[in-house]
Structure 1
Amino acid sequence: MTADASPEVEQRIRALGVEFRPYSIQRNAMSISSDRQTLTELRTALAELKPTTILAYTIKPIIWGGIAWRSSAARRCNETRFFALVTGLGYAFQGGSLKRRVLSTIVTKLYRTALRHATAVIFQNADNRDLFVERRIVDAAKCHVVSGSGINVAEFAQSPLSKKPPVLKIDGPAGPPHFLLIARLLGEKGIREYCRAAEQVKAKVPEARFSLVGPEDPSPDGISLEEIKRWHDAGTIHYHGATTDVRPFLQDCHIYTLPSYHEGMPRTVLEAMATGRPILTTEVPGCKETVQQGVNGWLVPKADADALAERMLWFIENRDQWQTMADASRKLAEEKFDVRIVNQQMLAIMGLE
């Protein structure tokens, strides 16, 4: 069960022999009527489908799915097990404004209600787990941590950083240094810091390239296309729009950058690691698990464009380190984040081995 999907996606799901059932859900809307509709549809679905095992992930499916399950006949008869996969904390838990603090209090109470009788709660990093335990949302004994959602290392094969012209005598890959960020257009993905850092770097290394790929997002934290267009038109970054396949962009870059404020486990970073790219990201939950400092990349403080620019310049000045870091990224992806490893961890937790 998910929100409405395109006919192509539905067809691919059904081809796997899986029944697909969409339901109404608005990921970013804060609407009582919309959420009530989601809860009603989930209650109806559980009554009709009578599942023995439920896995819900992301905030609204966990909250409304958990509450629907708690009130179901199957739950009352102990016939259904409920598992939650927390893929990140999201907008509500980041503090700051009064609106966010109020929202955080509401979401915390809803999580407690939804997860009170959950069989297990699975997190993608230990910091998120610790926060849920600290806020008494879930008992520590029910918590498990896995290495993100995993990455298909065959689908994201390692590719050369670039081909050096034989006559060009230079240490490391040739061509202008090319940084890439793939993200929904949200402030907390660090897009503004990325643009400001790019501006600083280009003042010293004008040929450096900075690409941005990703769709608009209706979240309260969303960045408008008009703002992105101003950076693009100034020549600071090149905005490529949204894409359904990130691989060509990853293969075309030298350094993958994600200056995010918070993550569960950033999928684009895992994809970049599997592709064989050095990583430049922030020292925050979710991101910091993907980098061995100085081995496959660097971590910088969040919301710090100056520190980001400083590390970008380090990469430019140390081209001879790129390939070593690229190989280390690929090795880490294979040994820790391979989807087969993560799936095995999930199946073991759910008793479905």
Structure 2
Amino acid sequence: MTRLVIVSHHAVDLLKFRGPLIRDLAASGVRVRCLAPDYDAATRAELAALGAEPVDYSLRRTGMNPLRDLVDVVGLVRILRRLAPDVVFAFSTKPMIYGTLAAWLAGVPKRVAMVEGAGYLFTPSGERPGWRRRLLRSGVGALYRVALGRAHRVVFLNPDDQREFVEQGLAARDKSVLLGGIGVDLQVWTEAPPVTEPMCFLLVGRLLREKGIVEYVAAARQVKAAYPQTRFVLLGGLDSNPGALSRAQVQAWADEGLLEWPGYVPVRPWLMRASVFVLPSYREGVPLSTQEAMAMGRPVITTDVPGCRETVRDGVNGYRVPARDADALAAAMRQFLKDAGRVASMGRASRRMAEACFDVRKINQKLAAWLLR
């Protein structure tokens, strides 16, 4: 029996982003253990239902404290030596770096790292970075280089990240492979009837500036001036990331009537009531939220940046706009308000694209082969 350890930064993300993979691997006879720093009774039970074993470890998801991080790495090495896995699979920035290094130090035979996106420090902010950000980027770049140099395989979700990491010497070309998105369960995320009355735009994401939320609000302000009945919904919870928006700022937009903010809630019911999915992000891996929206037959407005451009064929299943351009974003929204029929036609194109490109069963077969062979 192959013994696999998955290293994550968040128990909920294990279920949301790796759930189908864990289920498929466990069903095939792989012994799957999942490490996360924040299990509770509910997430333990859900993970066990997938056929995996939850394992606690210590990790701060954000921030860099060298002493604390060193202690966490040492603890992770001890856990991996005790579990003695054949393969370690780590995703998200800190688990990917520290999990891969710890697996190498623990003598794990095979180490696979997944780069799900370039991350906060490597995402352009539109401003000249300060000395602190430049220093952190340099430090994180060095850690990437060391950790990914000890991985047997580095998985990327989009070709821009793969090219950039290889060109900067952060990952070896011969170890790098392209997955193209983690995929969605098309039997769960089924196509829903189009919604046009009233027209409703939906953005789903962590409340970070680099998700394009400020531009989304500015576009909403423009559109509502001419189409006051239009709904704008923002789903997502507050975050500890340095680029996070404050509760006061988001609540002020909601109080002004520019958007609805239910908070961190299940996405599917809101997608069923949405007309168009919007993600004006500055950079992504390949966003799962967009893949889910496409599977449900929703047109997409997104930015022409790494990770996002892979989800939209401009004029076919939605529109691509420049990043940080609220005017262009508002103009794309108005296309649907002027011709509501595009919601249905472009939504059908989104579903076809999801079936062709983002079927989680096909994607998991490819990923499992990289993990186990």
TM range (shorter): over 0.9
What secondary structure is seen at the aligned counterpart in 2 of 1:148? coil
Query: In structure 1, which of residues 221, 225, 228 is the aligned counterpart of residue 243 of structure 2?
Result: 221
AA partner of residue 307 (structure 2): G
The CA deviation at 1:100 is 1.8
Partner of 1:87: 116
What are the residue-to-residue correspondences of 1:153-168 with 2, within 5 Å? 153-162=186-195
8 Å Cα contact 1:269/1:290 also seen in 2: yes
Q: Does 1:191 align with 2:213?
A: yes
Q: Contact 2:166–2:172 (CA<8 Å) still a contact in 1? A: yes
Q: Report the 3-state secondary structure (helix = DSSP H, G, I; strand = E; otherwise coil) of the residue aligned with 2:281.
A: coil
Q: Distance in 1 between matches of 2:46 and 2:252?
A: 39
Question: What is the CA deviation profile of residues 253-274 of structure 1, one whole-angstrom value per residue up to 9, with x for unaligned ones?
Answer: 0000001011001111011001
SS in 2 for 1:24: coil
CA distance in 1, matches of 2:350, 2:37: 34
Q: Secondary structure at the match of 1:240?
A: strand
- Please point out which of 251, 256, 281 is paired with 1:260: 281
CA apart distance, 1:302: 0.5
Residue in structure 1 matching 2:183, options 150, 156, 173:
150
Return the alpha-carbon distance in structure 2 between the equivalents of residues 20 and 51 of structure 1: 14
Question: Residue 73 of structure 2 corresponds to which residue in structure 1?
Answer: 39
Describe the SS at the equivalent of 2:232: strand
Deviations 1:101-123 (A, max 9, x none): 21111111101111213111000
Deviations 1:158-208 (A, max 9, x none): 11013xxxxxxxxxx4x1211011111110000000000000011111111
Q: Give me the whole-angstrom Cα distance separating, in 2, the residues matched to 1:84 and 1:183.
A: 23
Indicate whether 1:22 and 2:49 are aligned.
no
Measure how far apart 1:351 and its partner are: 4.1
Equivalent position of 1:50 in the other structure: 84
1:155 partner letter = V
The correspondence of residues 1-353 of structure 1 with structure 2, limited to 5 A, is 1-72=35-106, 74-75=107-108, 80-95=109-124, 96-162=129-195, 173=196, 175-243=197-265, 245-352=266-373
Letter aligned with residue 271 of structure 1 = E
2 CA distance for matches of 1:161 and 1:99? 47
Give the CA deviation at 1:325.
Answer: 0.5
* Cα separation, partners in 2 of 1:53 and 1:311, compared to 1, 3 Å: same
* d(CA) in 2 for partners of 1:125, 1:331: 20
Instruction: Check conservation: 1:124, 1:265, Cα contact below 8 A.
Output: yes
Partner of 1:55, secondary structure, is strand
Q: Highest Rg: 1 or 2?
A: 1
Structure 1 counterpart of 2:80, which letter? L
SS in 2 for 1:181: strand
* 1:278–1:322 contact (8 Å) kept in structure 2: yes
Q: Distance in 2 between matches of 1:342 and 1:147?
A: 8
Give secondary structure in 1 for the equivalent of 2:189: coil
Once residues 36 and 311 of structure 2 are traced to their aligned partners in structure 1, the CA distance between those partners, rounded to angstroms, is 28
Equivalent-residue separation in structure 1 for 2:175 and 2:238 (angstroms): 36
Kindly tell me the number of residue pairs found equivalent between the two proteins: 335
Structure 1 residue 17, shift from structure 2 partner? 3.2
Distance 2:312 2:75 in 1: 41
- Partner secondary structure for residue 56 of structure 1: strand
Q: CA RMSD in A?
A: 1.2
Which is further off, 33-42 or 143-152?
33-42
**Match in the other structure for 2:32:** none
Q: CA deviation at 1:148?
A: 1.2
Q: Summarize deviations over 1:205-236 as a string: whole Å, max 9, x none.
A: 11111011110001111101110111111111
Give the aligned residue type for 1:123.
F
Q: Distance in 1 between the 2:130 and 2:346 partners?
A: 39
Q: Larger deviation: 12-21 or 190-199?
A: 12-21
Give the conservation status (yes or no) of the 8 Å contact 1:55–1:83. Answer: yes
Where has structure 1 moved over 3 Å in runs of 4 or more?
Answer: none
- Measured in 2, the distance between the counterparts of 1:59 and 1:217 equals 16
Counterpart amino acid of 1:94? T
Residue deviations 1:300-329 (CA, integer Å, cap 9, x gap): 000111110111111111211221110111
1:19, 1:249 → 2: CA distance?
A: 32
Is the Cα contact below 8 Å between 2:87 and 2:372 reproduced in 1? no
1:168 match: none
Assess if the C-alpha contact under 8 Å between 2:191 and 2:296 holds in 1: yes
Unaligned runs of 5+ residues in structure 1 are 163-172
Native 8 Å contact 1:93 1:100 kept in 2: no
User: Which amino acid is the alignment partner of residue 54 of structure 1?
Assistant: V
Q: Secondary structure at the match of 2:155?
A: strand
Give structure 2 stretches of 5+ with no counterpart.
1-34
In 1, distance between residues paired with 2:352 and 2:130? 41
